[in-house]
């Protein structure tokens, strides 16, 4: 039963909640359909759990920016919480442990070069390896799927462990596979059934694969942390893991939430969040650029002009590349990489757009409702970089651009992701032309649903650009 003055929504059935109103394969269309019937703030029951779906910039900002802390919790009784043992940073509830770990990640990433030349160097080093993969594929069709996951995984690995892995190394192959599978299982049909029906939680059903994958990843990370413990010099950190271990030693001196046990899930969180998001955005980026060759060419003209005489792009160059900036932002807008953000929950009884929401209500951000919102974009429903250009051809960012969400829980890797997207796309487009193979048929932009949206595997042909 809906609490008093709770947002409206479709009638919920006992035990089943609203599961029959949603496609368990991909509920995104249903979220849009329900918005048309019930408005920008409506409610659903995920089994016994009341949830509110937020749509459109106005409601979204009121919740996660204006009433920030009221909406900054994370639900704790879902599939994903059991899989990640309620540790780490992404899914941890609003409170001291989350705050300390978030602050630590932001500070340590800055100390290890974010916003500085050293992070650009790491990204460029990794791009060199991708370029070799592409050079070997000239004239043949290749699939970009694993390639972009490898790049993104290695960049965040450099920050976390000070290491990159050859693309055929066991560690990177297993982690990328496990991350990709977890991303799909976690928002997939079995997770939805797990969240709705408590009695199936101990049964041997397909969702157990996510638990197995997390165990595999945990064991790999425990070995890795143990190796680093053998060689570290306290007080002289080489990377994120060393910094954290220094912090754990300080715990003896003052109360803190830092522990070695936390560390494993924490680095898994950062590694996962840093891999599956950027790589899927890049995959969409190149899919669009191959199918809109005039846009690809216009990017290349701007890149050639701005980088003339320079060996490589720097992140600062973005200020002289309004078109490239517009294209990258348009890729992010249309890719809608994290379609339901990460579920929030209310930390106390609160209100939203005149409705009353009790403490503990699950909050689902329908990101598409903002990224495609009519009235916010010149061309809400098409891939068109003009969405980010004004009449003078200057780059502008409308307030509805929020693929990283907003407020206290907003993505803490935004700075890194933006640097990666810019340097990778500019460097690859400067050297190569990306071509949709003639025999590949019509492109399919329909995403595979999960925590992240992924394009279906597609072929790509590369040619060296004659001017380079």
Binding residues (CB under 6 A) for ligand HEM: these are: 89-90, 102, 156, 269-270, 273-274, 277-278, 281, 337-338, 341-342, 344, 403-405, 409-413, 416-417
Q: Give the chain as a 3 state SS string.
A: CCCCCCCCCCCCECCCECHHHCCCCCCHHHHHHHHHHHCCEEEEEECCEEEEEECHHHHHHHHHHHCHHHHCECCCCCHHHHHCCCCCCCCCCCCHHHHHHHHHHHHHHHHCCCCCHHHHHHHHHHHHHHHHHHHHCCCCEEECHHHHHHHHHHHHHHHHHCCCCCCCCHHHHHHHHHHHHHHHHHCCHHHHHHHHCHHHCCCCCCCHHHHHHHHHHHHHHHHHHHHHHHHCCCCCCCCHHHHHHHHHHHCCCCCCCCCHHHHHHHHHHHHHHHHHHHHHHHHHHHHHHHHCHHHHHHHHHHHHHHHCCCCCCCHHHHHHCHHHHHHHHHHHHHHCCCCCCCCEECCCCEEECCEEECCCCEEEECCHHHHCCECCECCCCCCCHHHHECCCCCECCCCCCCCCCCCCCCCCCHHHHHHHHHHHHHHHHHHEEEECCHHHCCCCCCEECCCCCEECCCEEEEEECCCC
Chain position whose Cβ is nearest to ligand HEM: 413
Distance of closest approach, residue 421 Cβ to ligand HEM, in angstroms: 7
Q: 329 vs 430, which CB is nearer to ligand HEM? A: 329
Measure Cα distances from 369 to 382, 407, 411 in Å.
Answer: 14, 18, 19
Distance of closest approach, residue 99 Cβ to ligand HEM, in angstroms: 9
Q: 273 vs 352, which CB is nearer to ligand HEM? A: 273
Distance of closest approach, residue 104 Cβ to ligand HEM, in angstroms: 11
Q: 269 vs 302, which CB is nearer to ligand HEM? A: 269
Q: 307 vs 370, which CB is nearer to ligand HEM? A: 370
Q: 45 vs 104, which CB is nearer to ligand HEM? A: 104
Distance of closest approach, residue 89 Cβ to ligand HEM, in angstroms: 5
Distance of closest approach, residue 415 Cβ to ligand HEM, in angstroms: 9
Distance of closest approach, residue 88 Cβ to ligand HEM, in angstroms: 8
Q: 326 vs 411, which CB is nearer to ligand HEM? A: 411
Q: 196 vs 283, which CB is nearer to ligand HEM? A: 283
The position carrying tokens 């070997």 is: 136
Q: 282 vs 299, which CB is nearer to ligand HEM? A: 282
Distance of closest approach, residue 101 Cβ to ligand HEM, in angstroms: 8
- Residue 411, annotated as binding a ligand: yes
Distance of closest approach, residue 278 Cβ to ligand HEM, in angstroms: 5
**Binding site: residue ranges?**
411
**Binding site for heme: residue ranges?**
411
């Amino acid at each position: 039963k809906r609490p008093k003055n709770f947002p409206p929504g479709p009638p919920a059935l006992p035990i089943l909640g609203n599961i029959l109103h949603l496609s368990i394969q991909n509920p995104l269309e249903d979220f849009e359909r329900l918005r048309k019937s019930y408005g920008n703030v409506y409610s659903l029951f995920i089994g016994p759990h009341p949830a509110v779906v937020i749509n459109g910039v106005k409601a979204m900002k009121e919740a996660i920016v204006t009433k920030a802390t009221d909406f900054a919790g994370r639900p704790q009784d879902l599939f994903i919480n059991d899989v990640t043992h309620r540790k780490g940073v992404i899914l941890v509830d609003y409170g001291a442990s989350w705050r300390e770990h978030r602050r630590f990640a932001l500070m340590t990433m800055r100390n290890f070069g974010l916003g500085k030349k050293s992070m650009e160097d790491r990204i460029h080093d990794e791009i060199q390896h991708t370029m070799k993969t592409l050079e070997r594929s000239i004239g043949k069709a290749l699939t970009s799927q694993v390639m972009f996951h490898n790049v993104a995984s290695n960049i965040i690995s450099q920050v976390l462990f000070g290491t990159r892995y050859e693309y055929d190394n066991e560690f990177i192959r297993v982690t990328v596979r496990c991350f990709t599978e977890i991303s799909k299982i976690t928002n997939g049909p079995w997770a939805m059934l797990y969240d709705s029906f408590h009695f199936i939680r101990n049964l041997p059903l397909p969702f157990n694969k996510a638990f197995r994958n997390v165990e595999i990843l945990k064991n790999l990370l425990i070995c890795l942390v143990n190796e680093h413990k053998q060689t570290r010099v306290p007080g002289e950190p080489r990377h994120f893991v060393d910094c954290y271990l220094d912090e754990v030693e300080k715990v003896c001196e003052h109360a803190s939430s830092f522990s070695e046990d936390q560390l494993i899930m924490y680095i898994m969180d950062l590694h996962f969040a840093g891999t599956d998001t950027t790589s899927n955005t890049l995959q969409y980026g190149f899919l669009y650029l191959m199918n809109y060759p005039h846009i690809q060419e216009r990017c290349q003209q701007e890149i050639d002009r701005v980088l003339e005489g320079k060996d490589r792009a720097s992140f600062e160059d973005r200020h002289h590349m309004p078109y490239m900036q517009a294209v990258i932002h348009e890729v992010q807008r249309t890719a809608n990489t994290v379609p339901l953000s990460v579920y929030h929950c209310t930390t106390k009884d609160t209100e939203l757009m005149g409705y009353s929401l009790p403490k503990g209500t699950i909050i689902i951000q329908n990101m598409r409702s903002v990224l495609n919102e009519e009235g916010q974009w010149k061309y809400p429903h098409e891939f068109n970089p003009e969405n980010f250009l004004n009449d003078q051809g200057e780059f502008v960012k409308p307030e509805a651009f929020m693929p990283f969400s907003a407020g206290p829980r907003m993505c803490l890797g935004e700075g890194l992701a933006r640097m990666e997207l810019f340097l990778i796309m500019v460097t690859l487009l400067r050297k190569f032309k990306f071509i949709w193979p003639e025999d590949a048929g019509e492109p399919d932009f329909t995403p595979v649903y999960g925590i992240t949206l992924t394009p279906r595997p597609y072929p790509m042909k590369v040619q060296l650009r004659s001017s380079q």
